[in-house]
Amino acid sequence: MSGPTHKLINNNGTKGIDIGDWTILSHKTSILSSNEIDTASADLGIPIPEMIFGNNYLSIEHKKSGFKLEFKALPALAMVDQSSTSSDHIKVSYAREWFDKRSMANQEHITDVVKPYDWTYSTRYSGSNVSTNNALEFRPTTEESIDIEQLKRPDPILFYDENILFEDELADNGTALLTTKMRVMPGCFFILLRFFLRVDDVLFRVYDTRIYHRLGAPTVIRECSTRESSYKDIRSRIPRSKGDDLSLLLDSNWVSSQLPEQESFVESVQLVAI
C-alpha cells in the first residue's frame, strides 16, 4: 500500500512526521524547573505531580482545515477535581488505621488538612482542541467507530512514539501516570492517551482516549473509556506461577487488559476546509 508521501522530523527534542495534510509532532524534555513548578502550581491551585513533564507535548495538525489537537500535562491537571469533597473519595489503605491511632495518641487537634484536591490526579482530559476554526469540534457519533480491524493489521509503522506527560508516586502509595502512544501507518494514524492509576491495596483506574484517523477520510474519531477495579481483584488475577512477585501490577498494559470497562463514548470531528 502506498499512502500519501511522508517526511520524518527530528529536530532538537522534537520528533515527528509530515504525512499528507498532517503534521504530527512529539516534544520531549526534562521535568519543569522549580520556578516553572511554582508558577504552574499557583495557576492550577493544586500541588503539581512530582515528575511533571510540563513542556512535553504530542500534537496533530491538519493544515487544510486548521484542526489541531494537543496533549499536554498542565491542561490535563486543570481538570483534576478540586471541589471540597475531592480528597475524600479515595484514601490510602491504612488511612483508617492512621486516623484511629492518631486519636489514641492525642493528635486529633491536628485537623488542618491541606486544601482539598483529588490527590490521585485523576483526569478525564482527552486532549486540547486548539483548532483555529471554532467549528472544528468533536461531536458525539453513533455511526462512526475506530477501525480496529485495520489497526490489527501489521501495516508498516512509519512513525512510532511514546511520551510521558506526568507521573506521581502518590508518596509511595502507588502511581498516577499520564502518557501518550502514537503510531502512524501509510493508511491511518492512531493515538492512545492513557491516565493510569494504582493506589496500593486500594484500586486501579484507567481513563483512555483513543484518536483514530484514516488518512484521506473526512473525520477524526475520538473514543474515551473508563476502567476501574479494586486492587484485590486485579492482584488475584496474577498467575500463580508468579508466586509473590507483584511486578505485573506495575505493568499498565497487563492491568488494563484485566480491568472491566465501565463506560465509553465516541465522538468525531469533521475536517472541513476553511
Partner 1 sequence: MVLDLDRCIESLFKRQLLAESVIKEICERTKELLMNESNVVHINAPVTVVGDIHGQFYDLLEIFKIGGYCPDTNYLFLGDYVDRGLYSVETMSILTCLKLRYPDRVQLVRGNHESRAVTQTYGFYTECMKKYGSPQVWHYFTDLFDYLTLSVVIDNMIFCVHGGLSPSIHTIDQIKVMDRFKEIPHEGPMADLVWSDPDPGREEFAVSPRGAGYTFGSLVVEKFLHENGMDHILRAHQLCMEGFQVLFDDQLSTVWSAPNYCYRCGNLASILEVGVDGERHFNVFEAAPENERPSAAEVQRAAMFANGIPTGLFSGVGSNGAMTSSPAAGNGNGNGASSFLTTAGMDPTQDAIHYFL
**Beta carbon of residue 9, minimum distance to partner 1 (angstroms, whole number):** 14
Tell whether residue 43 is a contact of partner 1 (CB under 8 A): no
Considering only CA atoms, which of 61, 66, 58 is closest in space to residue 193? 58
Cell numbers representing residue 233 in the block: 481483584
Tell whether residue 58 is a contact of partner 1 (CB under 8 A): no
Cell numbers representing residue 205 in the block: 483506574
- Nearest residue (CB) to partner 1, 139 versus 152: 152
**Beta carbon of residue 246, minimum distance to partner 1 (angstroms, whole number):** 6
Give the span between the Cα atoms of 19 and 190, in whole angstroms: 13
Cell numbers representing residue 96 in the block: 483508617
Cell numbers representing residue 198 in the block: 494504582
Strands 159-168 and 174-184, bridge-based pairing: antiparallel
- Among the listed residues 2, 11, 84, 113, the single contact to partner 1 using CB under 8 A: 113
Query: Each residue of 192-219: b (16+ CB within 10 Å) or e?
Result: bbbbbbbbbebbbbbbbbbbbbbbeeeb
- Nearest residue (CB) to partner 1, 178 versus 271: 178
Please list, in sequence order, all residues whose beta carbon lies within 8 angstroms of the beta carbon of residue 208, skipping any fewer than 6 positions away: 192, 193, 194, 195, 223, 224, 225, 226, 227, 256
- Among the listed residues 30, 83, 132, 230, the single contact to partner 1 using CB under 8 A: 30
**Beta carbon of residue 224, minimum distance to partner 1 (angstroms, whole number):** 15
Tell whether residue 216 is a contact of partner 1 (CB under 8 A): no
Tell whether residue 33 is a contact of partner 1 (CB under 8 A): yes
- Among the listed residues 97, 145, 230, 264, the single contact to partner 1 using CB under 8 A: 97
Give the span between the Cα atoms of 22 and 24, in whole angstroms: 6
Tell whether residue 145 is a contact of partner 1 (CB under 8 A): no
Tell whether residue 101 is a contact of partner 1 (CB under 8 A): yes
Tell whether residue 265 is a contact of partner 1 (CB under 8 A): no
Residue 233 has φ and ψ, to the nearest 5°, of -60, -50
- CA dihedral (99, 103, 106, 110) in degrees, to 10, reads 40
**Beta carbon of residue 85, minimum distance to partner 1 (angstroms, whole number):** 11
Enumerate binding residues for partner 1 (CB under 8 A).
Answer: 13, 28-34, 37, 50-51, 53, 55-56, 87, 91-92, 94-95, 97-99, 101-102, 105, 107, 110-114, 116-117, 119, 148, 151-152, 154, 157, 160, 162-164, 167, 170-173, 175, 177, 179, 181, 183, 192, 196, 200, 244-254
